[in-house]
Amino acid sequence: MVTLAAMRKIEMVDIRSQYLRLQPDIDSAIAGVLDTAAFIKGPAVKAFREELANYLGVAHVISCANGTDALQVALMSLNLKPGDEVITTNFTFISTVEVLVLLGLKPVLVDVDPLTFNIDPEQIAEAISPITKAIIPVHLFGQPADMRRIREIADNHSLYIIEDNAQSLGAKFTGQDRMPKFAGTIGNIGTTSFFPTKPLACYGDGGALITDDPYLAETMEIIINHGAKVKYHHDLIGVNSRLDTIQAAILRVNLKNFDDFIARRRKVAAYYDERLVSNPRIQTPIASETGTHVYHQYTIQLDPAIRDEVQNKLKVKGIPSIIYYPIPLSLQKAFTFAGYQKGDFPVSERLCKSVLSLPIHTEMDVEQMDYICTNLLNIIDHE
Ligand SMILES: *Cc1c(COP(=O)(O)O)cnc(C)c1O
């Protein structure tokens, strides 16, 4: 095993090393935008939108300022009424609940599958009421939720589906028709984020809306542009949410490399699996049979009694790790008004105490992976 001093610093996500590897292309993409000074709505924005739509095999990609805006705009396009209910997962980032509450909609939370971390479709079915209007599955940590069952439930009850695909762009889901489809292209609208740590990333904030529906596409295009189709003619109350041209130019480079990025992450995951899977005290991530995994995170589960101590000991060894997520949405202080109690969602509450996400990114080398696994296994043996 190499010593820490001899090794490149281990990061959760090593954005700088990735930049250095792609530097000539990234620098010239940025320089191209500087050269024209078309910082807003420049040609790279349109080009990126078309290229991503092609990549995903969808009719429309509408870029916007970030993944949270994308969720908000998607919901705004559906013409829902205040108080309408939207079912979503309790184990995710805050964005989904945040935009629902801001729009006067009612988040109805349901628990997740203990092994895939994704929303449990059967609990969606049980949570449907006469005023349920939509379902927001979140494809967590890099793999799609069970979209076959969710689609079926949505169709039976005439509900919209917005897929929060901030973490799993590039992953595919195979439904009953055996035709693999990209996550984010199965519901009425898919949303994503290009935040620097996400699978397809820019060097700041960015996001997008994905749809095959021409009416929703046009509505969302108007909403992100201050509700105007024609400048200074405002048909709807909208928002200002744009992907800036420099970020789009960077994203065009990263999209060209996207399949390679995913392959590199999968290699890390395969290495971790091989080294960690046989240890009875480590639950390695489970890849579902119906989807592919892009490993936005490599999230293991440990006994809650040792999890925090293991994390501290890894840190001492120079190995970062993160707890995604320490608190379920149902128990977040900001959301106490909803009245959820401890014990309402046993699976997500337990996951918050057992999960630990290990470093995974496109630039990891075998030395680093070996160092992480050797130390993790040592630490677990001594707990
Ligand atoms: C990152 C993330 C978002 C929000 O994206 P931003 O671009 O940071 O606004 C939403 N949902 C999930 C699941 C995310 O991981």
Give the Å distance between the CA of 100 and the centre of ligand 1.
14
Q: Ligand 1 in contact with 95 (CB < 6 A)?
A: yes
Query: Given this model, what pLDDT does residue 176 score?
Result: 84
Count CA within 13 A, CB hemisphere, residue 19.
14
* Bridge partners for 298 per DSSP: 358
Q: Where in the chain is the domain with CATH 3.90.1150.10?
A: 258-381
Report residue 143 as tokens: 């793999």
Give the Å distance between the CA of 199 and the centre of ligand 1.
12
Query: Given this model, what pLDDT does residue 288 score?
Result: 87
* Bridge partners for 322 per DSSP: 357
CA distances from 116 to 49, 83, 112, 170, 327 (A): 30, 31, 8, 17, 18
d(CA 372, CA 379): 11
Give the Å distance between the CA of 6 and the centre of ligand 1.
35
Query: Given this model, what pLDDT does residue 2 score?
Result: 64
Our mutation pick for probing the ligand 1 site, out of 93, 205, 224, counting the most ligand atoms within 8 A of Cβ, is 93
- Residue 130 buriedness (CB in 10 A; 0-12 / 13-18 / 19+): exposed
Is the C-alpha dihedral spanning 313, 319, 320, 323 positive or negative?
A: negative
258-381 maps to CATH 3.90.1150.10? yes
* DSSP state at residue 212: S
Q: Ligand 1 in contact with 204 (CB < 6 A)?
A: no
Atom of ligand 1 at shortest distance to CA of 194? Answer: 7
Q: Where in the chain is the domain with CATH 3.40.640.10?
A: 18-256
Across the chain, the runs of DSSP E, i.e. the strands, are 60-64, 85-89, 106-110, 132-136, 160-164, 172-174, 180-182, 189-193, 207-211, 228-230, 233-234, 298-301, 355-358
* DSSP state at residue 199: S
The class level of CATH for 18-256 reads alpha beta
Give the Å distance between the CA of 93 and the centre of ligand 1.
7
Q: In terms of pTM, does the model score above 0.95?
A: yes
Question: What's the order of all strands across the beta sheet hosting 207-211?
Answer: 60-64, 207-211, 189-193, 160-164, 132-136, 85-89, 106-110
Q: Ligand 1 in contact with 93 (CB < 6 A)?
A: yes
Query: Given this model, what pLDDT does residue 342 score?
Result: 97
Q: Integer distance in angstroms from the first to the last C-alpha of the chain?
A: 21
Q: Ligand 1 in contact with 162 (CB < 6 A)?
A: no
| % helix, strand, coil for the chain, step of 5 | 45, 15, 40
Q: Ligand 1 in contact with 297 (CB < 6 A)?
A: no
Atom of ligand 1 at shortest distance to CA of 92? Answer: 13
Give the Å distance between the CA of 281 and the centre of ligand 1.
31
Q: Kindly give the parts of the chain with pLDDT less than 70.
A: 1-3
